[in-house]
A and B are shown apart, each in its own frame.
Chain A
Amino acid sequence: MAMLEVEDLNVRFYTEDGVVKATNDLSYRVEAGERFGVVGESGAGKSVTSLALMRLIDEPGVIESGEIRFKGRNLLEMDEKEMRELRGNEIAMIFQDAETALNPSYTVGEQISEAIRYHLGLDEAAARERAIETLESVGIPSAAQRYSDYPHEFSGGMQQRVVIAIALSCDPDLIIADEPTTALDVTIEAQILELLEEIATEFDTAIQLITHDLGVVAEFCDRVMVMYAGHPVEMAPVEDVYYDPQHPYTVGLMSSIPRIGDDRDRLQTIPGRMPDLIEMPPGCNFHPRCPYAEESCTRVEPPLVDVETGEPADPINSDAQAAACLAHTGELSGELDYEVTVRGEDDPAVPGDAPSSAGVSDR
């Protein structure tokens, strides 16, 4: 049994314009200590998925059905009090925009130690001490002094470290990091990712990293789920996705990985836009944008299947590469015809040995 198992999760927003199907029969798992990546364009349902794990979906949203099992217990059956005991304690969250995620009128120290006092029952002084230690462990210099500073007295990168310190303060087993570096510039982004990496290793914390940048996933994650319109279109260990993507959408995402000196808007590189989640295109949701789309794609909804066998995938129990495209169910007459070129091994601008930059040429 994995630490976190999400099964057939359906989140809906009942808006005036109609029902937004933000996640559709979403299933995945995160093992203890694992680094799990969730990738997808804006609106794919990444944040909704992570807020659902915390049961923090706001009106007009509801978790309509499914199970979220954390250490074997279904979160959706817990009462609010049990849920509060998990939040910030066993499952913690890091938000995208640190500046707005912090309360401007309390000191950063107070914002860290309030969770410590609440969850671990420490008194004022002990909580303070632990908060200072946490600030040190996220690399904030002279942590004892900075404890009493307000968020606006920190730079953007330091604010994000504070947000990470809040998440880390009660030693959680799972950290959900929702685009933790999107608001930061590239050098700071690298530092923050390095910090998350250290934390994951040192505390053996599982991290669900949400991003729309496959490059970040490639450096950081063990396994990855590529989301489109509220459900996974590809799920596999990161090398498989990286060297041998099996879904046209993943391929499109990969060609939009930025290269040094390239400041195109990354999200615009796949032509077209995410479909309206109120009224989704029939068949494969991706067909209006897919270069390989055929007539059958507009009729048949491709299930997530094991790309080797074509059998329905089991994302909760299996590691096999899975994709949701008719090419893998034998219902596509043509072939997915692309070539993946991976660059980077001898690229001096790329640290480490992970492939961090790839290009896909579409013949």
Chain B
Amino acid sequence: MSLQRFVIKRALITIPLLLGISLLTFGMVHAIPGDPIDFITLFTELDPETEMEIRAEYGLDQPVYIQYIDWVTSAATGDFGRSIITRDPVISEIMERLPYTLVMGIMAFGVTLATAIPTGVIAAYYRNTKIDQASRVFALLGIAIPNFLLGLLLLLVFASWLDLFPILPPTSQGIVSYDMLVYTLLPAITIGTGSTALLMRLMRSSMVEELDKDYVRTARAKGLPERTVVQKHVLRNSLISVVTVAAIQVAFIISGSVVVEIVFSYPGIGRLLVNRVGNRDFPVIQAIVLLIGVAVILANFVADVLYAYLDPRIRY
């Protein structure tokens, strides 16, 4: 099977996955105890007529499956209804904050890969030396420290003591500003540290395993320089097992962003989600949870394609 056919086949599989995640999201929000109507009306007594009107507006008078179908079909066009709290369209509330979270997430993932892979390779190449041990200690710390604590520590050191960053994000300038991008480094590093630690050690063990394989000796016996042997032959095979776990890190980065956005008062969708959960703003909650689900499915799709690209045996 060619890579192209593999990609198409794999893309088709995402359709039932997307349906499943939408069902789950919808079901989850509706399983939250309490009648949404109480949150819409802030627990005021209503005459039955007004209540019916409000129920009709939010579709709450329909049977659940109709509510679901309505929700999915409009969600597919980007219409998630209006927020119960602000009465603004959900989509515009999300679009306002999504760029912040996206930039932070991409930065976190980028920082993760850019540090985890080279350091993992170095740790593997100098395995069982001081360098390797240092990387092991860093990895243990990185995995053990909770995000909120690391975030606070970074703020304390870099913003408060060293004064390199402001304590609060310079939000007024928008996400595409130098100040904001620089500030975003702090939450991005906070989110990425755990994943970096994990991926670095995984890269190391995968690489150590590959370095022992016969094809490495074949490559050396061809007279290729050591750099080529490692960077061309060993690295590619080592990445195969790292790619899948790297994709799962996308999910961790997304879920990590919720806490980190609060620590850094960062204006992204994670903070929006937490704010609105308290208010049962279910149209917003549904939209954000669905978005997160879709992002994870997408990341897995990309991982599988990469996996197949790296390992020709997978396509069969």
Chain A residues packing against B (C-beta within 8 Å) = 51, 54, 56, 84-89, 92-93, 95, 97, 100-106, 111, 114-115, 118-119, 150, 152, 163, 166
Contact = CB atoms under 8 A, between A and B. Distances in A.
A206 B180 CA distance: 68
Interface stretch (B117-125, B213-221, B246-254): B213-221
B311 A118 contact: no
A105 B233 CA distance: 8
A87 B236 contact: no
A40 to B, nearest CB: 20
Closest 8 CB pairs of A and B: A87-B223, A88-B222, A88-B223, A100-B214, A115-B222, A103-B215, A150-B312, A93-B221
Given A100-B213, A104-B237, A150-B312, A87 B218 contact: no
Interface string B222-253: 11110010001100110010000000000000
A111 B236 CA distance: 14
A85 B313 contact: no
B310 interface: yes
Contacts of B312: 104-105, 150, 152
Given A150-B312, A150-B313, A152-B312, A101 B215 contact: yes
Contact of B221 (A85, A92, A114, A119): A92
B214 to A, nearest CB: 4
Interface residues of B, number: 23
Interface of B: 213-215, 217-225, 228, 232-233, 236-237, 240, 310-313, 316
Q: Please indicate which of the listed interface residues A51, A92, A104, A111 has the most CB atoms of chain B within 10 Å of its own CB.
A: A104
A111 B224 CA distance: 11
B221 A102 contact: no
A95 B214 contact: yes
Contact of B223 (A89, A101, A103, A106): A89
Given A100-B213, A104-B237, A152-B312, A163 B218 contact: yes
Contacts of A114: 222, 224, 228, 232
A163 B236 CA distance: 20
A52 B218 CA distance: 14
A103 to B, nearest CB: 4
Nearest to B233: A103
Contacts of A100: 213-215
Contacts of B310: 105
B243 to A, nearest CB: 12
A115 B219 CA distance: 9
A114 B218 CA distance: 12
Contacts of A89: 223
A95 B236 contact: no
Nearest to B214: A100
Contacts of B316: 152
A341 B215 CA distance: 42
A35 to B, nearest CB: 20
Contacts of A101: 214-215, 217-218
Contacts of B311: 104-105
Given A104-B313, A105-B236, A115 B224 contact: yes
A56 B220 CA distance: 8
16 contacts: A56-B220, A84-B225, A87-B220, A87-B223, A93-B221, A101-B215, A101-B217, A104-B215, A104-B237, A104-B313, A105-B236, A105-B240, A105-B312, A111-B218, A114-B228, A118-B223
A135 B217 CA distance: 21
A152 B233 CA distance: 16
A93 B214 CA distance: 12
A38 B96 CA distance: 75
A211 B222 CA distance: 22
B231 to A, nearest CB: 13
Contacts of B215: 100-104
B233 A118 contact: no
B224 A95 contact: no
A132 B142 CA distance: 50
Contacts of A56: 217, 220-221
B223 A166 contact: no
Given A95-B218, A115-B224, 13 more contacts: A84-B223, A86-B223, A93-B218, A93-B221, A95-B214, A100-B215, A104-B215, A104-B311, A105-B237, A106-B236, A114-B228, A115-B222, A150-B312
Contact of A118 (B217, B224, B236): B224
Contact of A102 (B218, B223, B232, B313): B218
A118 B222 CA distance: 9
Contacts of A92: 221
Nearest to A87: B223
Contacts of B233: 103, 106
